[in-house]
Structure 1
Amino acid sequence: MKKQRLKAVALTTMLSAGALMGSVAMADQTLDAVLQAGQAKTTLAQDSQKRIDRLAQETDDLAQQFKQQNKLIDDLRVFNAQMEKQVAKQLVVVQELEQSIEKVTVIERQIQPLIFRMLDGLEQFVNLDKPFSLEERQAQIAMLRANQDRADISVSEKFRQVLEAYKIESAYGSTISAYKTTLSLDGQDREVSILRVGRISLMYQTTDAQASGYWDVAQKSWVSLDSSYNAPILKGLKIARDQATKDIMTMPIQAPEAAQ
């Protein structure tokens, strides 16, 4: 009887130990499942946080872009307002130009006859003036007359060219120059040097510096000078050619005549 009781206790103990071991195994499995679930939640939380951080960064970027775009829009509004003012002023200028163009058409019709009168006056002046650089000056006038028939030159340019010719003629009165040419002296052609001192005196001297003369306005011809003028005229030629320093020169000068 006692043995049966001991067997029963032993069997109960073994059953209890088996149950305990089964419980421990189940507990281990449950703990693993809990840990895995926790790890999964942690991973999900980390992924969620990364998405949140990324969305937050994208939101900040969009906010910055929005601010920049708003600033750009404000700048464009200011720029457009300024452009509108400029366009309004330019429209006024265009209207003024249109009116000026109408006036220019009238002025052009008046300028062309004026140019012809100026050319006539210039040609007459050259013919009455002392005959220095005569061929060059007459060629200039002929060129200006020919330009009046050219359609590729504007009226304003034609007028400018005539004014430039007047300036050149005016400059002759305050300059000194020397050049070589051929004159008919005593019935024979002689190579001479011409000395022009403003419009005060126009003289010549042969290349051997042995004969000199001047242009007589009254006689409209060359008149010989005595040999005492040879040295002063030679000196004047050197000064005009920058071969000598400027100095006082003795020149034949005709007394002015009253205008007719």
Structure 2
Amino acid sequence: MSKVSNRTKIATALVGALALAGSNFAVANSLADVQKADSKIHASTAASQKKVDKYFDQAQDMLFEYGSVADERESLKSYNDYVAGLVADQEATMKLIQDDIDGVDKLRQGVVPLMFKMVDALEQFIALDLPFNLETRQERVQRLKDILNTAEVTLAEKYRLILDAYNIEREYGTKLNAQTGQVNIDGKEILVDFLNFGRVALYAQSQDQKSAWMYNAETKGWDKLEATYLRNLSKAIKQARGQGAPDMFALPIPAAEAAQ
């Protein structure tokens, strides 16, 4: 009885030892599984964090890009507004220019007839005026007529030339003018020095300074001057040509009625 009990005890102890050993082995396996699972969790967490970081970086890039696009949009909007203002201003300027062009066309319609009238009036004025520089003045009028009938000269240039001719005629009336030419006296052509005292009087003196005449606007002829005026007339001709110092001289002038 005693031996059996001892054997039984030994067997029980062996079974317990084996059971404990098996239990320790099972615990060890479970711990390893836990460690593996923990490692997987850490690895998964790290991978997830990388994805989160990646998405965050992408979101930041997209946010920055959005900001740039928004800034560019504002810049484009400002530029477009600026261009739109320029276009509106150009359209207004073009309208003003077109209005000016339309006005020029109307002005042209009025100016062209006026220029023809001005040239005709100038020709008539020269014909009624004292006959000094007559050939030069008549040639100037003829050139104006030719220019008016050519398309090679602009309207503005034609008008300028007409005004220049009027200005030249105006200056004739304010100066002493001397020139050489011929005058018909009693059917004979005589070489003389002409002197016009503005538009007040016109004189002619033979180049030998022995004879002189004054133009008579009423008779359209020449009246002989007395010999006492020859010296003064020579002095006046030299002054007109810049060959003598300014000095006083006395010459007869036509009566007021004749001068008109």
Tell me the TM-score range normalised by the shorter chain.
Answer: 0.5 to 0.7
Name the counterpart of 1:52: none
Which letter does structure 2 place at the counterpart of 1:170? R
Name the counterpart of 2:96: 96
Shift of 1:156: 2.1
Which residues in structure 2 correspond to 1:74-153 (within 5 Å)?
Answer: 88-153=88-153
Distance 1:156 1:172 in 2: 25
Shift of 1:90: 3.9
* Greater Rg by CA: 2
- Please tell me whether the aligned partners of residues 200 and 259 of structure 2 are also in contact (alpha carbons under 8 angstroms): no
Distance 2:258 2:183 in 1: 29
Shift of 1:87: 5.6
Name the counterpart of 2:59: none
Shift of 1:81: 8.0
Instruction: Establish whether residue 209 from structure 1 lines up as the match of residue 209 from structure 2.
Output: yes
Shift of 1:80: 9.2
Where 2:257 maps in the other structure, the secondary structure is coil
The 1:211/1:81 distance shift into structure 2, 3 A limit, reads farther
Shift of 1:89: 3.6
Name the counterpart of 2:250: 250
Distance 1:120 1:227 in 2: 40
Name the counterpart of 2:229: 229
Distance 2:82 2:245 in 1: 63
Moved more, 194-203 or 78-87: 78-87
Shift of 1:206: 0.5
Distance 2:86 2:132 in 1: 57
**Cα RMSD between the aligned structures?**
2.6
Shift of 1:128: 0.2
The 1:259/1:107 distance shift into structure 2, 3 A limit, reads farther
Where 1:179 maps in the other structure, the secondary structure is strand
Which letter does structure 2 place at the counterpart of 1:228? T
Where 1:91 maps in the other structure, the secondary structure is helix
Distance 2:152 2:235 in 1: 48
Which letter does structure 2 place at the counterpart of 1:209? Q
Distance 1:239 1:168 in 2: 20
Name the counterpart of 1:47: none
Shift of 1:182: 1.1
Q: Deviation digits for residues 182-225 of structure 1, max 9, x if unmatched?
A: 11223321110001111111101001100011111111111110
Name the counterpart of 2:66: none
Name the counterpart of 1:174: 174
Which letter does structure 2 place at the counterpart of 1:250? A
Shift of 1:110: 1.3
Distance 1:259 1:176 in 2: 17
The 1:81/1:206 distance shift into structure 2, 3 A limit, reads farther
Name the counterpart of 2:218: 218
- Please tell me whether the aligned partners of residues 178 and 196 of structure 2 are also in contact (alpha carbons under 8 angstroms): yes
Which aligned runs of 4 or more in structure 1 are off by greater than 3 angstroms? 77-91
Q: Deviation digits for residues 59-104 of structure 1, max 9, x if unmatched?
A: xxxxxxxxxxxxxxx9xx9999877766644432221111110111
Unaligned runs of 5+ in 1: 1-73
- Please tell me whether the aligned partners of residues 201 and 251 of structure 1 are also in contact (alpha carbons under 8 angstroms): no
The 1:181/1:89 distance shift into structure 2, 3 A limit, reads same
- TM-score, with structure 1 as normaliser: 0.65
- TM-score, with structure 2 as normaliser: 0.65
Q: How many residues were matched structurally?
A: 188
Unaligned runs of 5+ in 2: 1-74
Distance 1:146 1:252 in 2: 40
The 1:242/1:113 distance shift into structure 2, 3 A limit, reads same
Identity %: 34
Where 1:257 maps in the other structure, the secondary structure is helix
